[in-house]
Chains A and B, each alone.
Chain A
Amino acid sequence: MSARIVVAGASMAGLRAAEQLRAAGWTGTITLIGDEPHMPYNRPPLSKEVLAGKAPFESLAFRPRASVSDVEWRLGTKAVAARLSDRIVELDDGEALSYDGLVIATGMRPRRLNCPGPRAGRHTVRTLDDAQGLREALTRPGARVVVVGGGFIGCEVAATAVGLGVAEVTVVDPLPLPMVGPLGELLGRALLKRHEERGVRFVLGAGVAGFEGEEHVTGVVLADGTVLPADVVVESVGSLSNVEWLDGNGLDLSDGVLTDELLRVGGRPEVVAVGDIARFPNARYDGVPRRVEHWCIPTDTAKHAAKALVAHLTGGGTEFGPFAPLPTFWSDQHEFRLQSFGAPALGRDDVRVLDGDLDGDVVAGYHSAGRLVGVVALGGHAAASAAARYRAELLKQPVPTAQGTH
């Protein structure tokens, strides 16, 4: 039997890993295991075009490269355990798959609110099935929507709901501003203003204590006792890593899967992690391992991890540079876009307007120790183009060593 790499997880990160294993020269068997029944698809439209009814599933499906036409897809199947010392992954159908190389790409699932009240009427947005269910609920006449969590997903869903004509859309968050984690105060405030001008209500600095209703949600109870009437609740309160199947192998699973600078796991050169489950050090910044849930990361990590894994399995060298991706994210809300390059979250304490003004197209620069570490544009094409001009500067900066910055 030919040598095999098992890719646990068949979403974007799993697909990109398979493609990059081939690109790195792997000619052996590749088996992908995915718990969803669907072939890999692009998730960003789920909170926007799919909710708005503008994108059917066929338009979301990735087009796998020809090089992976011979890989084995085990969809609707889940990895439930692993014995790394025996190089075996166990599946929920009872099969035990042996491997020569393992790619961990099992990603995240939505965190749920753990408070009393009915479950019916409460939605998350992670999968195609989630988005289709939420769309049905949002398009019922007179729907009153409460979005719990004002991050990326929450802000996008609120904007899409308003665009669908939903009259009452309220975002609740314990933090004082929407997306304040990735954006900081200056742009968080500008974002709040734009949402409010377009009809989204915000209840900020407020926690959720429970839900009202018998079978189905009729309201959201806040910590101070206030009740917000609601037929549709969207829980966009972050995500949890799908790491349980790796328990018992002595790995650091405290926040995703800890990797080294080559995305290798647990000191095992035959095991790598990719996508938003990988907690990796980025040599461009401070070398502190972090998980990054941006869309660019599955592709970036897959490329680097595949090279390292194939080099190990085929006896090649690993003399390629340290993993130092320039992160990028975007978010489309109403008719405007947020576009980021670099790591703004590392420079939230020193934010300056670089171009434009906060009421129109604006580019904000995020600095750490006086150095530009990230830019975020808010507005239309002009803002995004202006931000792109700083991308070269962010890329040009020498990649610091792990101990060189903080």
Chain B
Amino acid sequence: MKVVVDMNKCQDHGQCVFAAPDVFRLDDNGRLAYVSDPDDALLDEVEEAADVCPLQAIRIEA
């Protein structure tokens, strides 16, 4: 699976970090960092992360 975050939309809310900590994290400056090609086994939590993003900035590609 491929994960794409629209960094023009992202406002570093960090809700994705709670939903999918294996894929998303906030760095020391509070900015989002993420794994762009996570294992397919993580699909559920990545979908959850995409759902809870207040800016709807996360896209999942099969």
Contacts and interface: CB of A to CB of B under 8 A. Distances in A.
B partners with A: yes
B45 interface: no
- Taking residues whose C-beta sits less than 8 angstroms from the other chain, chain A's interface range is 20 to 34
Interface in A351-406: 381-382, 384-385, 388, 391
Interface in B18-62: 18, 26, 29-30, 47, 51-52, 54-56, 59
A386 to B, nearest CB: 11
A65 B62 CA distance: 12
A382 B59 CA distance: 27
Nearest to A302: B51
Contacts of A299: 51-52
A77 interface: no
Contacts of A42: 54-56
Name B's interface SS: loop
A332 B14 CA distance: 15
Nearest to A381: B30
Given A42-B56, A44-B54, A381-B12, A65 B47 contact: yes
B30 A384 contact: yes
Contact of B56 (A62, A339, A382): A62
Contacts of B59: 63
B9 interface: yes
A239 interface: no
A277 B31 CA distance: 34
A152 interface: no
A332 B12 CA distance: 12
B26 A385 contact: yes
Given A339-B13, A381-B12, 4 more contacts: A330-B54, A381-B30, A382-B30, A384-B13
Closest 5 CB pairs of A and B: A381-B30, A299-B51, A42-B56, A385-B30, A388-B14
27 contacts: A16-B51, A42-B54, A42-B55, A42-B56, A59-B9, A62-B56, A65-B47, A295-B54, A299-B51, A328-B15, A330-B13, A330-B54, A332-B11, A339-B13, A381-B12, A381-B29, A381-B30, A384-B12, A384-B13, A384-B14, A384-B30, A385-B14, A385-B26, A385-B30, A388-B14, A388-B18, A391-B18
